[in-house]
């Protein structure tokens, strides 16, 4: 039996990505960039944070994703009174068959492979931080015992804009663990008409499962095998360095409005997202355009803006656009 070539597996990936996009599109009207962004997170092995006002279908998108991916799914509704143990689980006293009593671990809802952290910024920072270990290490430590999570493991968080009542800003350490931050915009006129047609009539889309965890893991490995030339890697590195106010690559906007730039995770995200896009576009090597395409979603939540930026209404995605425009493809000698 012949082993399929890289080109054959790449074409298989492209076809699978198209099927996933179409299957999700049965339920979600429009939002093409958001759907592609979420799928990029899945195949790059990262977590996604979707931000937008209530009612834009963020939760419905993640639920639909859980249907097309044949993986166990749990939803956690974040509220101000939610406690860390409500997420990760706790040890409880149980009585055995012989009458002896012992502590037994009772897993929380984080023990799934797709976890919807709904309205994540409505919980307190202490509760939000309960996800840190799970998101980074794919494990949970309770009572000194490490409990591994099943692979693949994804956290899909939704959050309301921080200007809304009853929200808490996510800690920077947790934001950094989200692969992409995706801004969900309000639908256009024709998209609202399509939403009404699908939600106010007897029609209900039938969503089919497309891929399981074993296949996802195989394609995640394929993504990492995509070639990226040193000069393209250097472009991604310079994009990240340009978000640091003290860097020689930083444009004036960064020096004026940014307090802290992106961590190295931003560079990792740029490269992995670019590799996914290359495969989706039918190529086996990464281009400059691939890197640029994911830059806003990869970097905007990794910038810490200063007081002047907030006072003048400057937001992080504007700064990232300035970084992209000010960073040449080829480094000057």
98-156: per-residue pLDDT in tens? 767 777 778 888 888 899 988 888 888 778 878 888 888 888 888 778 889 888 899 98
Report which secondary-structure segment, H or E, holds 70.
Answer: strand 69-70
The CATH class of 1-81+111-224 is alpha beta
pLDDT, mean of residues 297-326: 89
pLDDT > 50? residue 1:
no
pLDDT > 60? residue 331:
yes
Q: What is the pLDDT of residue 333?
A: 58
Closest CA to 299 of 328, 274, 275, 332: 274
Is 26:205 a contact under the CB 8 Å cutoff? yes
Residue 240: pLDDT band (50, 70, 90) is: very high
Q: Domain 226-333 sits in which CATH superfamily?
A: Magnesium chelatase subunit I, C-Terminal domain (1.10.8.80)
Please report the DSSP string for 156-202 in residue order: EEEE--TTSTT--PPPHHHHTTEEEEEEPPPP-HHHHHHHHHHHSSS
Strands 139-142, 145-148: pairing is antiparallel
Q: Which residues of 193-202 are buried (b: 16+ CB within 10 A; e: fewer)?
A: eebeeeeeee
Residue 230 or 104, more confident: 230
Is 120:135 a contact under the CB 8 Å cutoff? no
Q: What is the pLDDT of residue 163?
A: 56
Sequence spans of domains, the chain = 1-81+111-224, 226-333
Task: Compute the mean pLDDT over every residue in the chain, rounded to the nearest whole number.
Answer: 85
Across-strand partners of 117? Answer: 76, 157
Residue 162: pLDDT band (50, 70, 90) is: low
Do the domains 226-333 and 1-81+111-224 match in fold? no
Token pair for 34 = 């958001």
Closest CA to 24 of 13, 43, 39: 39
Residue 237: pLDDT band (50, 70, 90) is: very high
């Amino acid at each position: 039996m012949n082993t399929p070539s890289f080109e054959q597996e790449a074409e298989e990936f492209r076809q699978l990505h198209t099927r996933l996009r179409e299957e999700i599109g049965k339920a979600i009207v429009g939002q093409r960039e958001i759907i592609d962004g979420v799928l990029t997170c899945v195949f790059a092995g990262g977590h996604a944070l979707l931000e937008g006002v209530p009612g834009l279908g963020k939760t419905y998108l993640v639920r639909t994703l859980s249907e097309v991916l044949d993986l166990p799914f749990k939803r956690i509704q974040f509220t101000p009174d939610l406690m860390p143990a409500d997420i990760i689980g706790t040890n409880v006293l149980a009585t055995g068959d012989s009458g002896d009593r012992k502590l037994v671990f009772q897993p929380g809802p984080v023990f799934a492979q797709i976890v919807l952290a709904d309205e994540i910024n409505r919980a307190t920072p202490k509760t939000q931080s309960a996800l840190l270990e799970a998101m980074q290490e794919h494990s949970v430590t309770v009572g000194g015992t490490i409990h591994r999570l099943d692979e693949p493991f994804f956290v899909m968080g939704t959050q309301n804009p921080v200007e809304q009542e009853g929200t808490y800003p996510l800690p920077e350490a947790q934001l950094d663990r989200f692969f992409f931050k995706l801004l969900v915009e309000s639908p256009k006129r024709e998209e609202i008409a399509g939403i009404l047609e699908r939600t106010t009539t007897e029609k209900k889309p039938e969503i089919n499962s497309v891929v399981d965890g074993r296949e996802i893991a195989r394609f995640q490995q394929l993504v990492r095998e995509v070639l990226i030339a040193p000069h393209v890697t250097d472009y991604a590195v310079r994009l990240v360095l340009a978000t640091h106010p003290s860097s020689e690559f930083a444009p004036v906007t960064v020096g004026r409005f940014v307090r802290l730039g992106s961590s190295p995770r931003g560079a990792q995200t740029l490269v992995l997202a670019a590799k996914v896009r290359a495969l989706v576009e039918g190529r086996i090597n990464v281009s400059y355009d691939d890197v640029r395409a994911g830059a806003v979603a990869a970097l905007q939540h990794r910038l810490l803006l200063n007081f002047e930026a907030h006072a003048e209404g400057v937001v992080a995605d504007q700064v990232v656009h300035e970084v992209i425009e000010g960073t040449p493809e080829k480094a000057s000698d």
